[in-house]
Chains A and B, each alone.
Chain A
Amino acid sequence: MVGPLIPMGVIPETWNNVIALLLGGGFGFALEASGFSSSRKIMGTFFGYDFVVLRVFFTAAVTAMTGILYFDYMGWMDASMLYINPYYVMSAIVGGIIMGMGFALGGFCPGTSFCGIAIGKIDAMFFTAGLFIGVFIFSELYPLFEGMYNSRNLGGVKIYELLGMRETVFAFLLIVAAVGMFYGAGFVEKKVRKVEY
C-alpha cells in the first residue's frame, strides 16, 4: 500500500479518530516512559545534568526522517504529499523565542504537559491551563500581531532547499550532528554535578 494512506484514499476517513487515538497513545507512552512527564528531568538538558530530551528528540527526528526518505525512495510512500508547515520567517523565529521562554519557566511543552497530567502532576495541569489562556490572549490580540504573523511567507520550503544542498547530503549531516551531540552529552553529564529529583 502506497502511503500516505488516508490522503491516498486507502483508509476511509471514518477511521480517522480511532487512528488518532492509537497514534496519540503511542506518542504519550513513548514520552512518559522516557521521562517527559517530569519537568525536572526535562530541564536537565538545559543545565547539563540529564540529556534525555536531546537524546529522545533527535533520535525520534532522525528515525522518522530516515523512514520517510527510505519509503519515498522505495516508492512505498509519496513524500511530496506530506504536509509541510509554511515558513513565515519572522513569526516562526519570534514564536520559537517566546516558546523557549515559556519552556524555561514552565519546564514543559504542550505534549509533555499532557503526559504530566496523565500521571497526576499538578504543575502540568497549571502549565496546560496557561496554554489555554495564552492561545486565548493571542487570538484576542491578533490584530496587533497580524502584520508579523503573515509577513515573509516562504511557503512549505525544505531546509536543504534553503541551504542549496541535496536532501540526502543534509540528512546525512543531520545524523552525524545528532551522533556528535549524543557523544558530547555523555561527556558533559560526567562533568556536571548530579541533581536529585
Chain B
Amino acid sequence: MKTFLLPDLGEGLTDSEIVAWRVKEGDAVELNQPLADIETAKAVVELPSPYEGTIAKLHAAEGETVDVGAPLIDFDVADDDAPAPSGSDESATDASAHDDPAPSPEGGPVATPADTVAEVRDAPAPEEKPEKVSVLVGHITVHGGKPTRKRRAWDVEPFTRQERPSGRPNRAMPPVRKLAKERGIDLQSVRPSGRDGLVTRADLETAGTASGPQAQPQPASTREKVTGLRKHTAAAMTQSALTVPHAATFHQVDVTETLALARSGDASFLALASRAILLAAKRWPDVTAAFHADTMELERFAHINLGIAVSTDRGLVVASIDEAESMDALELTAAIKDRATRAREGSLTMAELTSSNITISNVGVFGVDGGIPILNPGESAIIALGAVRRMPWEHEGEIVLRDVCTVTVSFDHRVLDGREAAGFLADIAAVLERPALALAR
C-alpha cells in the first residue's frame, strides 16, 4: 500500500480543489495515467498516476479542497519497490558488489546468480525493476545511452545518503528555541514537521499538550481548521455579503391549490414552486442578470439556470438546473431529485456547481417560515420558500384553515429596485395561489 500525498502543484500553493476524478476505487491504473483534474489557484491541471497499481482509496470527494501534504490516494502496488527487503537479488549481491571489481560488460558479477543477469537482459522495459537509488549512489552518472548491464554492478549498493538526516539534531528558528526553553521542552524530544526536520511553533504546541501526563482540564474553547466546502461557503458568503447591497421582500401566500396539485400528481411542490418562479422570472428578466462591478456592466442571460440550494453533510452547495425555463414540472421534479442526490454524493460537475443565475432555497424543510438569504455570488436574486403551515386565513369572505407559506426574495439592489423585486414576488405568489393562472402565462 502506498499513500500519495497531494503535492504543491504550483509554486508555493497551500491547497488545491479536486474538480473531477477520472478513476474510482478498485480501478487498475498505469504509471502516469491521468487520475484527476485538480484546480489550484493558478490552473486546472491533470494529475498523472505516480504508481502502477490499483486505487485502494480516494481520500477526497469532487469539489473538496485538499491541503498540500494531506493524503489524496491510497494505491495497492503489486510490485513493491519500496526499500523494504525481500529483494533477494539485492541482498545476495550486496557483499559481492563491494568485494568484487566492476564486472566486465559481458560477464555478470562473479557472485551474482546467472538468472539475475538474465533477468536484466530479458526483462522488457516496463517490467524491469527500477534502477532506483543506484543512480545516485556515489554520484554515478546516469547516461541515456549506457547499456543496462554495465550499470548492474552499481545497483546493488545500498542507498547510504539517507542516513544523514537521521543523525542530525533537531533544529528550530531562534524564537521557537526560546519558546521551547521557556516551556522546558527538549527540542530533541519533539517530532519536527517543518522542512528539513525543522521544529515549528505548532510542533511545540502538540508536544506541550501531548507530554503532560496529568489529566488535562476541559478547555474553555477549541479551534478546528475550517476546510473544504465550509471554507468555500465562508469565502463566498463573505464576498457576497460585503460587496452586494442586499435588500429583501416577503409575502405570505395561500398555496392550498398548489399543494393539492402536488398531492394529486407526480410533480413535487418544490417543482411547482419552481415553475411559478420561472414564469415570474420570464416577466422580470433582470432577476437573473449578473452585475459586474469591475466593468460596470449588467450581463443578461439567454436562459434561466435555476440553482437549487442543497444541504449536504459537507455543507451547502447550489446545484444548477440549466435552461430550466424549458422544463415542465415533471422534468423539474426529476432534475431537482437528481441534483440533490448527486450533491450529497459529491458527484456534481464543476459546471453544475457554478452555472446557476438565480437560486431557490427551500428553508421550509427546516420548519421555519423564512429568513433573508445571502445571494449566491454573481446572482441578483434568491428565493426562500418557508414551511407550509395550516393556518386561519381569509378565503372567499370567510375565515377558514388554509395552507400558507412565506416566500422571501433577497435581491441585489444595484440591479433591482423594490418595484421589480416586489413585482417578481407578486407574480410568483399569484401563480402559487392560483396555479391555473400558469395557463395564461
Do A and B interact with each other, yes or no? no
Q: Measuring CB to CB, which residues of chain B are less than 8 angstroms from any residue of chain A?
A: none
